[in-house]
Amino acid sequence: MRTIFILVISILLFNNLASQNISYARQIIDSLCSPTYAGRGYEFDNDGKAATFLERQFKELKLKKFNNTYRQNFTTNVAVFNGTTIILMDGTPLVIGADCLIKSYSAPVHGTFDVIHFTPDIFRDTMQYGILLSKVTPEVAVLVDTLGLNRPDFKPEYDRLFTKNAINARVLIKVSDKNLMHTPAVFQSNYSEIELTRSAYSENCKKIFLDIDTEFLENEPTQNLIGYIKGQTDTCIVFSAHYDHLGSMGEGVYFPGAHDNASGTAMVLDIARHYKSLKVKPHYTLIFILFAGEEIGLIGSFYFTENPLFALSKIKFLINIDIVGSGDKGIQVVNGKEFPNQFNILTSINTNKKYLPQIKIRGSAANSDHYPFFVKGVPSFFIYTLGEYKEYHNIYDRADAVPLSGYEGLFRLLLGFVSEL
């Protein structure tokens, strides 16, 4: 009777928690995406402020510590925007993040520049092309229209002169028809580059005013966060996610990073919250890791695997959760082809419970924090959601926009997966 009673209580508790976890996740996502942490980048210690917030969540959950701290400190190099970002085209201000983006590796630049235009047709006029090249000086901004990149007479010359700024322009502006997508950098160039949307482009533009403050930080301190629940055995299951994002691009402009990856961070905390609430020691030790440095090259996870706080050989399985703010079309499982038995466990659970519309399979890929563990021989999945929500690495990936349509299904699926293991 006692065993039956415990089983019934556990089932009721699980169902109750699973029905409430989105509310908790929303609170975490709202906090991480707020202006307080300004995109969780490295300017003004915003990543450190976010880490302090997350460390407080670990403390409230009463997770255990390695070496008497939740933090694993390390340093990294990174380029940041540390002041103003103002761009005026012929006196008209551009909206940073909507009309244009400044490449993260840009050098600081201040002043007004004459604009010279390189259009695809220029490359058909050898004389005019040569004249324009002779006008490239530090006092001008070079504006390149990428509309003709599919043309064989334009693409090679574009790659040669403009991809890596072989013309030595001080300011390089590229008109693009693609969605604006910001990427951080771990280096700084000697010029400034701006990506301009087609809608903000004027072929008659004569002058551009730039007031852009950037800085290259060397050996900038940051930190991973690690906590755990002691199990009946030292063999462990790891849940991981990265909490860092792209930071800000001047005052009032930042990249919230709800989908990528406040959502995954929230789910790792939510899973820890669930297991702590059960008041029963799990079979395996459960370890929860929140990484910094993912957006600049998996820096935090590589550092961890080179400086592990426990033997990596003790990991039975690692589940890395990154970009899980949608889910109306199911999930994708990176490394599913590498670990077919574990993938079959996921699909079997989902077939029986119908938690998600589909589970798609991929092979290995060096695209999130599972990868440094995978190359060390640790069995691991990287799971991300699929859906209509497409905001990514832009200013629109906000907490109030991310739908979390597959959140509860994925949450239950992962608990079932651990139970099967």
Mean pLDDT of 401-407: 98
The per-residue pLDDT for 5 is 43
Q: How confident is the model at residue 16 (pLDDT cuts 50, 70, 90)?
A: very low
Lowest mean pLDDT among 24-28, 113-117, 147-151, 325-329: 147-151
Residues 48 and 119: their CA atoms lie apart, in Å, by 44
Question: Could you tell me where in the chain the CATH 3.40.630.10 domains are found?
Answer: 2-75+221-420
Exposure of 235 in the CB half-sphere (CA atoms within 13 A) = 8
First to last CA, the chain: 27
Residues 6 or more apart whose CB falls under 8 angstroms from that of 284 comprise: 231, 232, 233, 235, 236, 237, 316, 418, 421
Token code pair at residue 319: 């589940």
With the C-alpha atoms ordered 249, 252, 253, 256, is the resulting torsion angle positive or negative? positive
In CATH terms, 79-216 corresponds, of 3.30.70.2740, 3.40.50.720, 3.50.30.30, 3.30.70.260, to: 3.50.30.30
Residues 146 and 154: their CA atoms lie apart, in Å, by 9
Residues 296 and 78: their CA atoms lie apart, in Å, by 8
The per-residue pLDDT for 279 is 84
Residues 158 and 14: their CA atoms lie apart, in Å, by 58
Q: Which tens digits make up the pLDDT trace of 263-288?
A: 999 999 999 999 999 989 999 999 99
Residues 132 and 140: their CA atoms lie apart, in Å, by 11
Question: Could you tell me where in the chain the CATH 3.50.30.30 domains are found?
Answer: 79-216
Q: Which tens digits make up the pLDDT trace of 77-91?
A: 999 999 999 999 999
**Residue 390: C-alpha distances to residues 98, 222, 246, 294, 417 (Å):** 16, 29, 17, 20, 27
Residues of the chain above pLDDT 90, percent: 85
Mean pLDDT of 369-385: 98
Residue among 235, 239, 414 at smallest CA distance from 315? 235
For residues 394 and 182, is the Cβ–Cβ distance under 8 A?
A: yes
The per-residue pLDDT for 6 is 42
Cis bond upstream, residue 261 (ω within 30)? yes
Q: Angle at Cα 254 formed by Cα 213 and Cα 256, nearest 5°? A: 155
Mean pLDDT of 107-134: 90
Residues 87 and 201: their CA atoms lie apart, in Å, by 13
The per-residue pLDDT for 417 is 98
Lowest mean pLDDT among 21-25, 59-63, 205-209, 390-394: 21-25
Token code pair at residue 335: 């490394």
Considering the domain 2-75+221-420 in this protein, what is its CATH number?
3.40.630.10
Residue among 66, 100, 384, 414 at smallest CA distance from 242? 384
Q: How confident is the model at residue 150 (pLDDT cuts 50, 70, 90)?
A: confident
Q: Work out the mean pLDDT of the chain and round it to a whole number.
A: 93
The per-residue pLDDT for 146 is 86
Give the global pTM.
Answer: 0.93
pLDDT of residue 18 exceeding 60: no
The per-residue pLDDT for 14 is 47
Q: How confident is the model at residue 1 (pLDDT cuts 50, 70, 90)?
A: very low
pLDDT of residue 373 exceeding 60: yes
The per-residue pLDDT for 234 is 96
The per-residue pLDDT for 162 is 87
Question: Which 8-state DSSP code applies to residue 175?
Answer: E
Beta-sheet strands, E only, within 230-295: 233-242, 284-291
pLDDT of residue 310 exceeding 90: yes
Mean pLDDT of 101-107: 97
Mean pLDDT of 202-216: 96
Q: How confident is the model at residue 152 (pLDDT cuts 50, 70, 90)?
A: confident
pLDDT of residue 4 exceeding 80: no
